Structure 1
Amino acid sequence: MTLYMPPIIFDRNAHQVPRFVRVADLMWCGAGLSCFQTTPRIDTVAIPTSVYTLTLPVVDLVKGWDTGPEAIGEDMHMMLKSYFLMNGKLNIECVASPASHCNVASGKKGIWGWFDGLRARYQQALRHMWGCLDTGFAIQQWSQLGTSERVNNLCYDSHANISLGAKFSFFRVQIEDGDKLTLRNIDLLTRIFEAHFLPAHLFMTLITSSIYLAINPATSVSRWVQLSMDVMAYLRTFGFLTMLFYFFFCYERYHKICVDVRTAELKKSGLYRDIEDQISRRDPWSPLTWLDYVIFPVAGLIYGGLPLLHAAFSHFWSVDLNYKVSAKPKRILVEQVVRMEEGRL
């Protein structure tokens, strides 16, 4: 039973959106790519971002997709649901075929269009972080591993398909012998912590530590408190430099390969000249690229820590989110073809 997931790339209109929007999606893409593995292993833990494929037997076994408020993070939620209902026996296979994405774009022009693009990206980030509801869902599912309640959550009519019925019986046996404390489960819970806790913790740590040091003279701060803050500051700096190394030496090469392959395919199909301006290229040595790197912390706080705190506090009152899908750029070529077809009719 397998879940297939490709990495993603924002290579269509990244050069046409506000820099903060581009950097936020750059970090989003890099985070998903960091758990990608070219050689699948049985213990692979990778959370899909936007794009994934499930086999029909898996969909049947887990009773399809959930539609409640807790399933707003649909890609992660379905992965977690399948993973825990199979007691961690879900095979996750990474597909080396990146899914090309568009950044959220505003239909407005000028300075108001710039602000509207930032607002639209924040709304998208809020929807993403609203998926922190999956933390509670994952803990609940993890606590039920190996129980009869877990087994009863799986249902399949073995008379409908003998082959799938046999697989279902096989998984029932494995699930009845479930074990909560496995390295794979710990790995998964760690990734959930990275997605749903770490951005907010980093945001609050930076703010509170800065305020504390600002209102307290250096002589009144405990030596051990000062030492711990200094050590944490060095660790944050080391983490930031490590992230720069990752993006400069790994991601930029990945982006170039994806764009080159897509460009070659477009030229081969004869569509390149029509959408040449919708290809976002990056030059690792350009000052503009390094400016993207410099604002990583700011974009991370605006579109990571802040919307996560917004979502977490909002959950005290409601788990429902009224969300409108953010605008994406339209291809003029497609619109022209539609008009031509309508004219013929």
Structure 2
Amino acid sequence: MSKVLLPSLCELVAPGVAITALLLLPLGPILIPRFYLIFLFVYFTFFLYTQINHVFKFFITTKKIIHNIRTWNLHQKVNSPDTFSTSSGSASPLTARERIIADENNLDDVEASLKIYEDSHYIHTFIIPNYCEPEALLRDTIKRLANHRNARRCYVILLAMEGSEAEHEQKGDNLMNYFKNSFLHFIVTVHPPNLPGESRGKGANVAYAARTGCTELLRRGVERRQIILTVSDSDSAIPELYVKEVDRALTASEDPYMLLLTPPIFFSRNSFDVPAAVRVTDITWSAMVMSNLSNSRGLAFPCSTYSLSMVLAERVGYWDTDADSVGEDLHMWLKCFFKTDGAARSAPIFVPINLTNVQADGYFNNMYARYIQATRHYNGVADVAYTLRSSFGSSARPSSLMSLLPTADVAKSSMYISPYYWLDKLIVCVHVLEAHMIPATSGWLMFAAVPVMQLILFPPFSFLAVVEPDSNPILVSEFYSTLWNIVKIITVLLPFPLFATLGIYEYLHRTVDRELFRKAPAEYRTWRNALDYISLPIAAWMFMTLPSTLACLKRLVKSEQEYIVAKKVFTEDAM
């Protein structure tokens, strides 16, 4: 039965949850008021617990990000004083804070960690997929990598073009000529349109670029185990510190070829040029990604930008390209995890990758462009079925790793399988369900469940009554009356963890802008920007609840999605 029905049942989970949440709003108080009250109590309590947990994890991530930035800056100041010179031209002395950091970290340890970076034998290969992106944006993104000290020695650019884009050849040639002397290698790949079995999108482009580019690097004499693939977006501004931390994590790992290196994302390049609702949406998205990184079991999901070895990509068959792998970053992580029986793990890299907010001309055009981006993001709900199927379906056998290993290693393959693999699979399922089912349900239940139930069970006018007083559990049972009051109190408390997260974020944003991106004071967020959060209800409904619910419902009728990229207005003068 499981072999035949489980895949279908897995596909029904996402739409089933969304439909149930919508139906419970009016029907729960009428048909099953007692069960509905208990359900609301359990749901809201679980939601409140997870949000409080996320606040603490976000705080830990914030501390590690700031610590990394300040340690890096301290090293730069000691070893590259010209970079940190004063207006008079002399090297600026260490501040009191920097002396504390030096004492805490021991400069010798900082020097040792930098030595790892300078002696790195890895070839960092940056895959930059794009479709109809402004050439100026791509040039700016690549230029930031070209400014890294080791770019000419150990950086490779894989510019992943789409064959269906008009004039893609000219754009690729222009960029290759511009950066011809800036990197170890600069390779342009062109993903052919309409390949059988493929769904158009970032995943298909990355898969083609990785296979084609890695084959070319091997032909040029680069050793397979040297190649570290970093998948980015066309607007990912990757700091040099990120590459240094990737090198450090790989060097410190017992098995660097089973790591997915996952950084936080940050939106600071054009944040003041977009509506507040767009800013707030991306801020909360960024905060969720950051809290996810503080995971002690190495089960942190990547978003947008991440790194892994060519060895691992080969072992799992590179990226999937079908319609169910549209969320390419999370899907690749899940594929690596399941195809290696839990051996592949995340290594968090606490260095923010600076991205560009969706931007279009005009307020309403910008809001619509962000909504389109949200619908594309939430189409990744397909990973719910993939996760359940991989965890509990007929393919969830502890033997998949053996087919991926060389014959000589098969006898030793058990060393890769964690004795807690089944527990880890359960945790992964919970995290995936939380990532996709909470957005599709919380907006409706948090905002409407209590008011609708109040209206139905305690209508303002008698002619609106649909539940007899004798059938109203709140009136006839002290237990349910108390439970109802507790539910109302919990709903009042639900936003407070988010407020705490946003308060921590404001401090982090200014620190990163000032100390990592070195922006001018006029470009910092100030506490006046707290007014942005007035738009949270609009942002939550328009960019989370509605698109996530529609994405769940669309799983009932699978159809090819149009390939629409996020709109970005960009000039060479932009950050």
Instruction: Give the alignment's TM-score, normalised by structure 1.
Output: 0.78
> Which ranges of structure 1 fall in alignment gaps of 5 or more residues?
159-164, 267-271, 335-345
- Pick aligned residue for 1:85 from 339, 346, 356: 339
Deviates more, 1:10-19 or 1:142-151: 142-151
- For the pair shown, the structure with the greater C-alpha radius of gyration is 2
Name which of 364, 371, 375 aligns with 1:122: 371
Aligned length: 301
Displacement of 1:3 in angstroms is 0.3
Q: Give the alignment's Cα RMSD to 1 decimal.
A: 2.7
Distance 1:147 1:173 in 2: 16
Matches within 5 A, 1:1-345: 1-37=258-294, 41=296, 43-106=297-360, 108=361, 113-144=362-393, 147=397, 150-151=400-401, 154-155=403-404, 166=409, 170-171=412-413, 174-175=416-417, 181-182=422-423, 184-205=424-445, 206-217=447-458, 220=469, 221-223=472-474, 227-248=482-503, 250-264=504-518, 281-283=524-526, 285-286=527-528, 288-289=529-530, 291-333=531-573
**3-state secondary structure, aligned to 1:28:** helix
Measure how far apart 1:139 and its partner are. Answer: 0.6
Show CA shifts across 1:191-244 (max 9, x none).
Answer: 212211111211231334433322442694431666544433322332311111
Question: Does the 8 A contact of 2:260 with 2:347 survive in 1?
Answer: yes
1:90-129 CA distance string (max 9 Å, x none): 22111122100110000x2xxxx11111111111111111
- Could you tell me how far apart the structure 1 residues matched to 2:434 and 2:481 are? 26
Distance 1:87 1:155 in 2: 11
AA aligned opposite 1:200: A
| Larger RCO, structures 1/2 (Cα 8 Å, 6+ apart) | 1
Evaluate the alpha carbon distance shift between residue 56 and residue 133 of structure 1 in structure 2; reply closer, same or farther with a 3 A threshold. same
Corresponding position of 1:337: none
Q: Percent identity?
A: 24
Partner SS, residue 197 of structure 1: helix
Q: Structure 2 vs 1, CA of residues 86 and 226 (structure 1 numbering), >3 Å: closer, same or farther?
A: farther
Cα distance in 2 for partners of 1:11, 1:254 equals 12
| Structure 2 letter corresponding to 1:150 | S
1:6–1:99 contact (8 Å) kept in structure 2: yes
What is the CA distance between 1:51 and its match in structure 2? 0.9
Change (3 A) 1:321 1:147: same
Q: Which amino acid aligns with 2:271?
A: A
**Which piece of structure 1 moves more, 298-307 or 201-210?**
201-210
CA offsets 1:132-152 (integer angstroms, 9 cap, x no match): 110000011111576266347
Distance, in Å, in 2 between the alignment partners of 1:194 and 1:146 is 21
1:181 Cα offset (Å): 3.4
Offset of residue 169 of structure 1: 6.0
Q: 1:171 to 1:233 in 2, by over 3 A?
A: farther
Q: Is the 8 A contact 1:87 1:178 kept in 2?
A: no
In the alignment, the residues of structure 1 paired with residue 544 and residue 397 of structure 2 have an alpha-carbon distance, to the nearest angstrom, of: 36
Structure 2: segments with no counterpart, 5+ residues:
1-257, 460-467
* Amino acid of the structure 2 residue aligned with 1:239: L
Superposition deviation, residue 70 in structure 1: 0.7
Partner of 2:207: none
Task: Provide the C-alpha distance between the structure 1 equivalents of 2:380 and 2:559, rounded to a whole number of angstroms.
Answer: 10
Alpha carbons of structure 1 residues 68 and 253: separation in structure 2 relative to 1, 3 Å: same
Give, in whole Å, the separation in 2 of the partners of 1:49 and 1:191: 14
Equivalent position SS for 1:234: helix
- Tell me: CA distance 1:150–1:16, structure 2 relative to 1, closer, same or farther (3 Å): same
TM-aligned CA distance change 1:137 to 1:210, over 3 Å: same
CA distance in 2, matches of 1:231, 1:118: 37
Q: TM-score, normalised by structure 2?
A: 0.48
